[in-house]
A and B are shown apart, each in its own frame.
Chain A
Amino acid sequence: MKKIIFALAFMLMGTFAFANISLTNYEFSTIDLCENEYYVYFEGELVAEWTEPAPLDDDMNCTGDARIFFLE
């Protein structure tokens, strides 16, 4: 019984973690996790943006992320 509860809890955590990844990348990326997206802001204004291919993890999943630089 304990094992089943642990397995269910583990699955649930996995679901949340996945949901979090999707949310994490929603606002700034095209949800194309195969690209890293870069944004540079200067005084609150977007001044440059570019993308680059994202590396794959051990399971061959894309690990794309959005990264924002603030020039102060």
Chain B
Amino acid sequence: MKHLFYIIFAVFVLNSSAQETTVVTKVDYSTYLNLGLPSEIDSELIFFKSQSIYSKGKSDISYPESATIEKIGNNKKASNIYYSDYTNKKGYTKKNIDGKTYLASEDMQKITWVIQPKKQKTIMGFVCEQAVGNFRGRKYTVWFTSEIPVPFGPWKLHGLPGLILEAKDNFNQVHFKAIKIEYTHLKDPEKKVEIPIAKYKDISLKDFLVLEEKSLKDKIARIMASKPRGSKINNFKYHKPKGLELKYEWEETKKQ
């Protein structure tokens, strides 16, 4: 009975026409990342019709106790937001570089999922099936529920016949897990998921990554330059940041 209620809600959300208020689904995820220093991040996914918005919220990094810590920059306003637009098959990442907000666009990557219908588990009362798929260098094992028949998921994971409630990568570095689903009434849901194309500098994801790395190298150089005169720097090593995406399609094309 409970699940029937959710299905009616999900269908309602996808097909609802303009009304005074519309019910929109909001999913809270707890995200565990370990790309070096483990961190727990709160994030939320809101979807409406063919668009979704995934935003990263509070991040709780496990800072090591055994060193002097110095934070550089104030990126509180720069929480990353990812928009997906199913109609045009485009994705947009809103992110800051040196105080300037960019909207990095990309074509939504088709993820070829292999569904394992025999592998099931229940997450927050929803029966989920398992699926496995590769996305930009990581192999994700995800759990999705057909009880909420929308193709959305956390971050850039999408394309299954039901909402993705949990996803783990094969390196145990990334783990998204839905912890709460709620239905909120919004007056103008289109605005909530609207992609602010006109508001921010539009750039391709590929060009954005180049800019971001250049900015990062400049910041490292500034830290090194701030050392007292006569400091002798030894064993310098730069590690290109990879983040969640280890490999991009244009890098694969270049190798061929």
Question: A: which residues have CB within 8 A of B?
Answer: 23-28, 35, 38-53, 65-72
23 contacts between A and B (CB under 8 A): A24-B66, A25-B66, A26-B66, A40-B220, A41-B36, A44-B38, A45-B35, A46-B36, A48-B220, A48-B236, A50-B234, A50-B235, A50-B236, A50-B237, A53-B232, A66-B66, A66-B67, A66-B68, A68-B68, A68-B69, A71-B72, A71-B219, A72-B73
Question: Does B37 count as interface, using CB distance less than 8 angstroms?
Answer: yes
B216 to A, closest residue via Cβ: A42
| B231–A67 CB distance below 8 A | no
Question: Does B5 count as interface, using CB distance less than 8 angstroms?
Answer: no
Question: Does B224 count as interface, using CB distance less than 8 angstroms?
Answer: yes
Name which of B122-130, B184-192, B238-246 contacts chain A: B238-246
Bound form: Cα–Cα A25–B69 in Å: 13
Cβ contact of B36, chosen from A24, A44, A66, cutoff 8 A:
A44
Closest-CB distance, A13 to chain B (whole angstroms): 20
Bound form: Cα–Cα A10–B72 in Å: 39
Question: Does B20 count as interface, using CB distance less than 8 angstroms?
Answer: no
CB within 8 Å for A71 and B216 given contacts A41-B36, A44-B39: yes
| B66–A69 CB distance below 8 A | no
| B68–A43 CB distance below 8 A | no
| A27–B219 CB distance below 8 A | no
CB within 8 Å for A67 and B37 given contacts A48-B220, A52-B234: no
Cβ contact of A65, chosen from B68, B71, B241, cutoff 8 A:
B68
Closest-CB distance, B61 to chain A (whole angstroms): 6
| A52–B36 CB distance below 8 A | no
Bound form: Cα–Cα A52–B232 in Å: 6
